[in-house]
Amino acid sequence: MTTLNRRDLLKAAGAAGAFNLAWPLSAGLSPAQAREAAEVLGADYDPAPFTLGVASGDPQPSSIVLWTRLAPEPLAAEQRLPEIVEVDWVVATDPQLRRVIARGTAPASATLGHSVHVPVAGLRPGTRYWYAFKALGKKSRVGRTKTAPVGPISSVRFAAANCQAFHDGFYAAHRGIARENVDFVVHLGDYIYEHGQEGGVPAEHVRDHEGPEIFTIADYRRRHALYKGDRSLREAHAAHPWFLTWDDHEVANDYSSAGGDAPFMQRRAAAYQAWYENMPHRDAGNSALPDPEIHRVRRWGNLLELTVLDLRSYRSERNLADGTILGAGQKAWLKRGVDRAPDTWHVWANSIMLSQLRGRPGGSYMFTDQWDGYLAERKEVLNHIHSSGMEDFVVITGDWHSAFVDDVRLDFDDTSSPVIGTEFTAHSVTSGAYSPDWNAANGPLMGAANPHLKYFEGNRYGYDVYEVTPKRFSTHMRVIADRRDPASPVTTLTTFHVDRGKAGSYEDPATKNSPAQWRRDS
């Protein structure tokens, strides 16, 4: 069967001079016309008013956050709803919602896009629950979630996803995540893309047509609603609880809030609010606006400590001697966490690459929007980890649209410098990677220029699944066959392991002959 991705459909529409019919968020379309155009691109929606589905997030031992958003016309600039709509919610221990253990009512206000964020407390640790909502006489789909365990546990499995440009393909990777036997999901950023065809992004990331660039709260709400029009994304949200961080495209490409003028700060506020309205996010300060607090530490029994970082909200400009990617407050908080870290696996959810990446031997840094643009602070943080004695350190990263495995060294330019951890950078869900020719030519160059780089593969799309036991941390790179196919099968490309108490990773012998553009043999 011949398959066409959204890029192909948009390209064909453009050749016919029919962009207004092809791109759902084009100006001048009614909500019904926008939805019809989205459906041409493979979108569909749950029954109204719960068109965008349901989700849960930030699981803790006794609580979880439940989310939904009322959007009977998902691609409308404004919903034709009352100012306040009462939304009933229920949590049960069975999928049929017969054994109810909690219920209540939450207001969905127009101020927050008729979204609801319900923090449900009094739950049992390490327990599966099912939940649903009811409003305006209609019921939502049933979602599934899980609380964090406490005390000794034998294993944890979780997935990570990143970079899911709607216009670049279908979310078969999220379809795979929805079907995985995992305890939770971590999203590492670039949940949406803000740019238009002339959006100022690097040429290798621009596809044939992505519609207009977005700036207002209505723009960002509609972009989120379009992305949730992919059934597989809604399925992944409904199947597992999620932890969340963000990168740049939730607001604007490569943005830094440092020195932002008034129009940009208004745009950022709009983007942050729309992100909160559309995510199962628990805000620590109980007031998510104007700036949701992203960074947090969560534990999964005695086996895993997850540190979620925010590498956008507090950063300075790049390439400054005293530059910061964390901000003073988050850095102090991170160091305190390192100082009192328990004896467990320590995993940082990190939206952009921590490890150094030179493009070629003797060359400059490839992309200083990463930690490479904040050299002094990276050195300070890594030295703090080393001096504290913290071990079993793993970083999971997105952004690059390709898979990397790196040793994390105190000094990346000194091969005798101690290895203190491992970084796994995952493939993107759909967002366009560099070409196969570029990958083939530059993989060996990056390998030669970066002695800490163990593996690079850039020709595929997918997600990672991590399997953690008291003795080993394993990363399974799941890849899809074709992002043009919404039901594309998922396979495991390769697996890397990190043994407890021994810094550094190694590839599983069973998958070591899988395709890659760079693999260090020793």
Tens-place pLDDT, residues 21-67: 458 998 889 999 999 999 999 999 999 999 999 999 999 999 999 99
> What would the pLDDT profile of 447-481 be if each residue is shown by its tens digit?
999 999 999 999 999 999 999 999 999 999 999 99
How far apart, in whole angstroms, are the C-alpha atoms of residue 477 and residue 479? 6
CATH of domain 151-160+294-470+479-484+498-522: 3.60.21.70
Range in 5-9, 87-91, 478-482 with the lowest mean pLDDT = 5-9
> Is residue 17 scored above 80 in pLDDT?
no
Q: How confident is the model at residue 291 (pLDDT cuts 50, 70, 90)?
A: confident
Please give the structure tokens belonging to residue 121. Answer: 């407390």
> Is residue 508 scored above 90 in pLDDT?
yes
Question: What pLDDT, on the 0 to 100 scale, is given for residue 324?
Answer: 98
How far apart, in whole angstroms, are the C-alpha atoms of residue 369 and residue 252? 13
Question: What pLDDT, on the 0 to 100 scale, is given for residue 100?
Answer: 98
CA distance to 94, 119, 320, per residue, from 91 (Å)? 9, 11, 50
Judge whether 243 and 89 are in contact, CB under 8 Å: no
Mean pLDDT of the chain: 93
> Is residue 500 scored above 50 in pLDDT?
yes
> Is residue 13 scored above 60 in pLDDT?
no
Question: What pLDDT, on the 0 to 100 scale, is given for residue 128?
Answer: 98
Is pTM beyond 0.85 here?
yes
> Is residue 505 scored above 80 in pLDDT?
yes
Range in 7-11, 52-56, 353-357, 497-501 with the lowest mean pLDDT = 7-11
> What would the pLDDT profile of 90-143 be if each residue is shown by its tens digit?
999 999 999 999 999 999 999 999 999 999 999 999 999 999 999 999 999 999
How far apart, in whole angstroms, are the C-alpha atoms of residue 367 and residue 341? 31
Question: What pLDDT, on the 0 to 100 scale, is given for residue 207?
Answer: 33
The answer for 53, left when phi > 0, alpha when psi is -120 to 50, beta otherwise, is: left
> Max CA-CA distance within the chain?
66
Please give the structure tokens belonging to residue 315. Answer: 């950063």
Every domain range in the chain assigned CATH 3.60.21.70: 151-160+294-470+479-484+498-522
> What would the pLDDT profile of 208-223 be if each residue is shown by its tens digit?
345 679 999 999 999 9
Q: How confident is the model at residue 362 (pLDDT cuts 50, 70, 90)?
A: confident
Question: What pLDDT, on the 0 to 100 scale, is given for residue 206?
Answer: 29
Question: What pLDDT, on the 0 to 100 scale, is given for residue 120?
Answer: 98
How far apart, in whole angstroms, are the C-alpha atoms of residue 326 and residue 332? 9
How far apart, in whole angstroms, are the C-alpha atoms of residue 224 and residue 201? 19
Question: What pLDDT, on the 0 to 100 scale, is given for residue 202?
Answer: 34
Q: How confident is the model at residue 181 (pLDDT cuts 50, 70, 90)?
A: very high
End-to-end CA distance of the chain: give it in Å, rounded. Answer: 43
Q: How confident is the model at residue 522 (pLDDT cuts 50, 70, 90)?
A: low
Question: What pLDDT, on the 0 to 100 scale, is given for residue 258?
Answer: 87
Give the three-state DSSP class for 173: helix
Q: Which residue is it, tokens 């869900």?
A: 429
> Is residue 385 scored above 80 in pLDDT?
yes
How far apart, in whole angstroms, are the C-alpha atoms of residue 192 and residue 98? 36
Say if residue 290 is preceded by a cis peptide, omega within 30 of 0. yes
How far apart, in whole angstroms, are the C-alpha atoms of residue 26 and residue 19? 8
The total of other beta-carbon atoms located within 10 Å of residue 136's CB is 15
> Is residue 484 scored above 70 in pLDDT?
yes
